[in-house]
Chain A
Amino acid sequence: MEPLLKVENLRIELATRAGVAPVIDDLSFELGHGENISFVGESGCGKSMTALAIMGLLPDRIGRIASGRIIFDGEDLTKASEKRLRDLRGNEISMIFQEPMTSLNPVYTVGEQIAEVLREHEKLGKTAAHNAAIELLDAVRIPNPKGRVNDYPFQMSGGQRQRVMIAIALACKPKILIADEPTTALDVTVQAQIFDLLRDLRKEFGTSIIMITHDMGAVAEMAERMIVMYAGRKAEVGPVQQIIEHARHPYTKGLISCVPHIMADPTFEREELTEIPGIVPGLGEFGQNKCLFAERCNMVVDKCLRKRPPEAVFANGQKAACWRAEEV
């Protein structure tokens, strides 16, 4: 079967003061029907840019798709008109954002904000849309939806606001839901509730989910495959559990081991955390013909600084862009 979404050799350029920088540099991936993939990496690695490109929401006049294709359900989105993209957004592809506090409009009730999507895309009448909004609030498990539908965002807690965001995103039963760090601003018990909700909704509607995160634990709980991004490039891709057990890119390995993960049986001795020295390079360094991770890598050899590593493909489906992937 054709994948639902296919991104081929995508290159996104951002105009900066110092010149044009490739924030996304030759990215290819596929998303199957009902599949859940995760983008992982530090800030400034191009995770959110990928999401915005799929949504057709790249910053006007600053960012542009320089080459490559984004094929959704057989249609190339890079060639679609603005009107067509408007039709798709919120209808076939929708997105939930990181900050539930700031991504709702404070002067409209939450019910009105959910109903707007339905009126726009499904052409529902005023009353029908309002009633559908109540049903959606119930679906995202907000208690007493009839009463809460007329609440303003400030009357809700962070977790409830994120549920409203999810209700808006799911109003038209999209085929793809992009969740950009959906729980970063929330407490762990609320995060667990949101994850359960996303899992249930996916089961019910068969929605494919692209989750962007930096939390390997969340990836392990939610996704089947992960794509590790570094400096605009794909560092590694493969099935989640496999990568966690044996990463094939030094960056992935570092990302997993630098975080103190909660363990089932804590030991008395605690070893120092593995550090990835330094920070992600600035946009000016992107796009060079070398491994951009080389400066921070503990396995660096001469070759890494001379030539961009090709993707090493492993029999188990993992792919890693590293000259020494076999040895990792």
Chain B
Amino acid sequence: MTELLEIENLSVRFPVRKKGAGWGGKTYLTAVDSVNFTVRKGETLAIVGESGSGKTTAALAIARLVTGETTGQVRLEGKDILPLQQEQLKAMRRKVQVIFQDPYSSLNPRQRAEDIVREPLDSLTGKSASEKAAIVDELFAAVGLRPEQKRLFPHQFSGGQRQRIGIARALSTRPEVIICDEPVSALDVAVQAQILNLLRRLQADFGLTYLFISHDLGVVQHMCDSVAVMYMGKIVEHADRIALFSNPQHPYTEALLSAVPSVDAKRREETRRILIPGDPPDPLNLPKGCRFASRCPIAEPRCSESEPPLKQAGNGGMVACHLREAG
């Protein structure tokens, strides 16, 4: 398998007004801080983390959809996409599409379902009207919507059906990569299963690569092949699915996994709840050393001195922790 997507030193920062700096005083909030990872073709990489960890910003930066200052490299099939403009940018957008979290606000209420699904074809390709109509028909069938529903408006669909429209729209340009930004967290549990099964079926049928953002670790365990855990803009651990869930290395990953309530009585007995007291540090005033040190149950003095780099870990993945290195 080849690396479809290579992310190197990706950083995104947003200018914010600084308190007490007077007029025009400016500082930067670094939402994503030199992040490195790769995604192989046909696999699903999950980015997990809590709100404010930078997972959505990182993923949207890869789709060229953030307004902040983006530095580093995002190589799609070996070619850096960050400097692309106009026609080349359009070509790149055909290859990278997004499924959004909220199916209620991500569809234009004034457009009919078929127009919503066709829109990426209108703006990104030069296909003829009949070609486009054929693609829309095919996509409606692929995501499990009936042909007569093409003429309906978004408000006439249920939440799950709207998400199907969103998925059909993302598939219309036959993309290589789809960024799924919390695709099921706004849906009812029974409908979640329908959408998750659909996403996995489409991945097999269309050979898609998913970048899957979620805070629901049960969903992540079911969907992904490898997992990157983010905390305060940094990747703290990146490992394949089984290694990460059965043998987490970073104390933050352990705490995150131990916090998930479980129906599995065996798991409940086995997991010792690891408490991480307090709140994450102020993103405008980050500590010098490890960003997790202030809440970490095993922190040592050196953790607040120097920042740990992402290194080989005992479970075959990568971990950024002074105390958990391979060997």
- Enumerate chain A interface residues (CB-CB to B < 8 A): 42-43, 143, 157-160, 187-193, 195-196, 214-222, 241, 244, 254-256, 258-266, 268, 270, 272-277, 279-280
Contacts of B192 in A (CB 8 A): 258-259
Contacts of B271 in A (CB 8 A): 264
Q: Are B215 and A275 in touch, CB under 8 angstroms?
A: no
Contacts of A189 in B (CB 8 A): 50, 255-256, 259, 276
Q: Which 8 A-B pairs have the closest CB atoms?
A: A260-B222, A217-B261, A258-B193, A192-B259, A187-B50, A264-B267, A276-B190, A273-B193
Given contacts A189-B255, A256-B263, contact A265 B197 (CB under 8 A): no
- Enumerate chain B interface residues (CB-CB to A < 8 A): 50-51, 158, 160, 188-194, 196-197, 200, 215, 217-219, 221-223, 241-242, 245-246, 255-268, 270-271, 273, 275-276, 278-279
Q: Are A259 and B193 in touch, CB under 8 angstroms?
A: yes
- Expressed in whole angstroms, the Cα–Cα distance for A143 and B294 within the complex equals 14
Given contacts A188-B259, A268-B242, contact A258 B273 (CB under 8 A): no
Contacts of B219 in A (CB 8 A): 260
Contacts of A196 in B (CB 8 A): 273, 275
Give 10 A-B contacts (CB < 8 Å), ordered by A residue. A189-B256, A189-B276, A192-B275, A217-B262, A222-B261, A258-B189, A260-B222, A262-B262, A263-B221, A264-B271
Contacts of A216 in B (CB 8 A): 263
Q: Are A262 and B246 in touch, CB under 8 angstroms?
A: no
Given contacts A262-B221, A266-B242, A275-B194, contact A42 B188 (CB under 8 A): yes
A220 partner, pick from B158, B263, B279, beta carbons under 8 A: B263
A278 → chain B closest CB, angstroms: 8
- Expressed in whole angstroms, the Cα–Cα distance for A254 and B194 within the complex equals 12
B302 → chain A closest CB, angstroms: 24
Q: Are A258 and B50 in touch, CB under 8 angstroms?
A: no
Contacts of B268 in A (CB 8 A): 220-221
A207 → chain B closest CB, angstroms: 20
B298 → chain A closest CB, angstroms: 16
Q: Are A275 and B193 in touch, CB under 8 angstroms?
A: yes
Contacts of B267 in A (CB 8 A): 262-264
Contacts of A195 in B (CB 8 A): 261
Contacts of B50 in A (CB 8 A): 187-190
Contacts of A273 in B (CB 8 A): 193, 196-197, 222
A242 → chain B closest CB, angstroms: 11
- Please give me the residue from chain A that is nearest to B222 by CB atom: A260
Contacts of A260 in B (CB 8 A): 193, 196, 218-219, 221-223
Q: Are B261 and A270 in touch, CB under 8 angstroms?
A: no
- Expressed in whole angstroms, the Cα–Cα distance for A191 and B261 within the complex equals 9
Q: Are B222 and A217 in touch, CB under 8 angstroms?
A: no
B296 → chain A closest CB, angstroms: 13
